[in-house]
Amino acid sequence: MSRAKLDAIRDAAPSVLPSLLICDFGDLRTEVARLAEAGTKVLHLDVMDGHFVPNLSYGMPIVEGLRRHTDLPLDVHLMISDPLKYARPMVEAGADMLTFHVEAVEDAAHTARELKQLGVGVGVALNPDTPLTELEPCLDDVDMVLVMSVNAGFGGQSFNPVALDKLKLLRQRHPDLLLEIDGGINAETIGPARAAGCDLFVVGSGIFRADDYGVAIAELDGLIAAAGNGEGAKS
């Protein structure tokens, strides 16, 4: 597995990443084609196990199916209790970035190093109530931090502004680290997230509930541009 896709993710920033959790899984080929036509540069996949989080989503077959239909980088968010158990199958299915939750593992640095051995980009995620200090042991071993602005796996939550404070601190302390945000990202929250230093913005309903994906993404891109580079976010 080449690290070229990680470079593609870096080069895409700042960018909106459609979350495929609520797309039409009965017609993935068309959904991917519509997203590509709308200018999507990276796809985001939420993998839930019903254990670490209370919901179930999908696993390797969906990742593999998507890979057959697109060359776009696949950013896979592992909301699961044992990320190392499923990491290699995910990579073999076509994942380009694997993000694990710091709350799900005992040794985040070890987990990050093991994932990196698979030749993919490595991200670490944390929920709103988890302090940034929990990330310190693994930050030298990851390519990206995913700051959750809602609790992973739970629906119907409001955007938690603590995510903005975390983004600002991470950007100030780690200017070269990719920063991603997920949860409640829409036309009202994407600008503040960019101003706080975020690079990658995971969006679900704001895209898939729109009639025209291109118009929805263009609007979000405009709000990102209007927010500037924030606390030193990548230009």
H/E stretch holding 71 reads none
235 marked as part of a ligand binding site: no
Residue-wise DSSP of 188-234: TTHHHHHHTT--EEEESHHHHTSS-HHHHHHHHHHHHHHTTTTTT--
Distances (CA, A) of 104 to 59, 82, 84, 110, 130: 18, 7, 11, 13, 12
Closest CA to 20 of 39, 59, 56, 46: 46
Q: Binding site annotation covers 228?
A: no
The DSSP bridge pattern shows strands 43-48 and 74-79 to be parallel
Give dist(CA 154, CA 180) in Å, integer.
Answer: 18
Asked if 192 and 172 touch (Cβ cutoff 8 Å), the reply is no
| Residue 155 annotated as binding site | yes
Is residue 184 marked as binding? yes
- Catalytic site residues? 46, 182
101 annotated ligand binder: no
Paired residues of 149 in beta bridges: none
Known binder of ligand: residue 77? yes
Task: Please give the Cα distance from 142 to 113 (Å, whole number).
Answer: 8
94 appears as a binding residue in the annotation: no
> Is 51 marked as a binding-site residue?
no
**Is 19 annotated in some ligand binding site?**
yes
- Whether 46 has a binding-site annotation, put simply, is yes
Q: Which residues are annotated as a binding site for a divalent metal cation?
A: 44, 46, 77, 182
Q: Which residues are annotated as a binding site?
A: 19, 44, 46, 77, 153-156, 182-184, 204-205
Q: Which residues are annotated as a binding site for substrate?
A: 19, 77, 153-156, 182-184, 204-205
